[in-house]
Structure 1
Amino acid sequence: MTDFILRQAVAQDLEALTAFNQAMALETENKTLEAQTLRQGVNGILQHPHYGFYLVAEREGEIVGSLAVTYEWSDWRNSLFWWIQSVYVVPAARRQGIYSALYHKVQDMAKEQGNVCGFRLYVEKENLVAQATYQKLGMQECQYFMYQSKA
C-alpha cells in the first residue's frame, strides 16, 4: 500500500517543480541552472499542454517526486514517443517506489491516449543507479547516441 498520491501537476506546483529541477541538475550533472529561465521553462509545460505535462507524487500535502513528459512525433510509426524528463524524488523518499509508481502512471496514461508507441529518456552515462532502476522497469538501452548543437 502506498502512502502517496499521484496527480498531474498544476500551476500551484511551479515553485516545487522548479526547485526539483534545480536540485536534480546539481545532483546529477553538477550544474546550477539559472532560476528565472528554469522557472519559465517549467511554467511553459504547465501553461502549454501541447508541450507535455508533469506528474507529481504527493505525501501529506507535500510533493516528494515528479517527472515531466514531453512529446516527439514519429513519422516512421505514425504515433508519439513520450520522453520522460526531469525525474526527481526527494532524498528522504527514495527507494520507496515513487518513481516506479510515476512510471506506471505514465504507461497507463499512454495506453488510455492510444497513440503512444513508446517511452524514451536520457540518463547520464555515470548514473548507474538510475540506469538500474530503468532496466528493472523493463526499459532497455537503445542503439542510438545522442548529439546536440545550439540553434
Structure 2
Amino acid sequence: MSGNSIAGVGHRVAGHAVSHQQETIVFQRGTVRVRRARLEDAETIARFNRQMAQETEAIELDEQRSVAGARAVVEDPGKGFYLLAEVDGQVVGQLLVTYEWSDWRNAWFWWIQSVYVVPEQRRGGVFRSLLDAVLGLAFRQGSVCGLRLYVEESNIGAQEVYRRCRFTRTSYQIWERPVGHGFDVDLSGAE
C-alpha cells in the first residue's frame, strides 16, 4: 500500500461492517498501519487500557477484568471493534469503536473509546491514522451519521488533539449510574 488507503469491508453484524479477514490492514499512512484487532491482541489492548486509565484518571484497572473486556469485544463484533496502529510491526496505538443508534437521525453514531498511543509515538500521526481509518470505515458503512467521544475534563492535551481533528464540544453531559452485577453499588436510597 502506498500513500493513504482504506481497505474494503465485508459482511454486516448488527448493522455494522465487519471485515472478513481480521488480518486486513484497513488504513496505511507512511509507516503507520492500522488493522482490526485479533484475539491474540487482547493482552496488549488490556495493557494499553490499564496504562491509559492510570495516566488520565489515576485509576488502576483489574488486569483479569481488562483482558476479559478486551476479549469480549474482539470475540463479538456486535459489541464494537478495536483498531490497532502498528509501526515496524509493533502495536503502538489503539482505539475502540462502539455503536449507538440515533432514532432522531435514523442512523448510527460510532463512539470512539479507549484511545491510547504509546508515549514515544505521540505527536507522530498515530492517532490521526487511527481516526482516518475510522472515518473511512464509517463513510463506507453508509449509515453512520457521526463520531462521538468523551474525554476526561482534566485531559487538556487530548481535548486539543480532538479540536484539531474537527470534533466539537456538545451541550450534552455524560452521566452514569451503576446497576450492580459485582460492582460496588449502594441501593439503599433506590425506590
Divergent runs of 4+, >3 A: none
Partner of 2:122: 94
Q: Give me the whole-angstrom Cα distance separating, in 1, the residues matched to 2:154 and 2:61.
A: 20
Q: Give me the whole-angstrom Cα distance separating, in 2, the residues matched to 1:4 and 1:148.
A: 35
Q: Give me the whole-angstrom Cα distance separating, in 2, the residues matched to 1:116 and 1:123.
A: 21
Normalised by the size of structure 1, how large is the TM-score? 0.98
Q: What are the ranges of 5 or more consecutive residues in structure 1 without an aligned counterpart? A: none
- The structure in which a higher percent of residues are helix is 1
23-32 vs 72-81, greater mean Cα deviation: 72-81
Alignment of 1:2-151 (within 5 A): 2-151=30-179
Q: What are the ranges of 5 or more consecutive residues in structure 2 without an aligned counterpart? A: 1-28, 180-191
Normalised by the size of structure 2, how large is the TM-score? 0.78
Helix, strand or coil at the partner of 2:65: helix
Q: 1:4 Cα shift?
A: 1.9
C-alpha distance after superposition, 1:41-91 (max 9, x if no partner): 111110000110000111122100000000011111111100000000000
Higher relative contact order (CA 8 A, sep 6+): 1
Helix, strand or coil at the partner of 2:74: helix
- Report the structure number with the largest CA radius of gyration: 2
Cα RMSD of the aligned pairs, angstroms, is: 0.8
Helix, strand or coil at the partner of 1:80: strand
Count of equivalent residues: 151
Helix, strand or coil at the partner of 2:167: coil
Helix, strand or coil at the partner of 2:166: coil
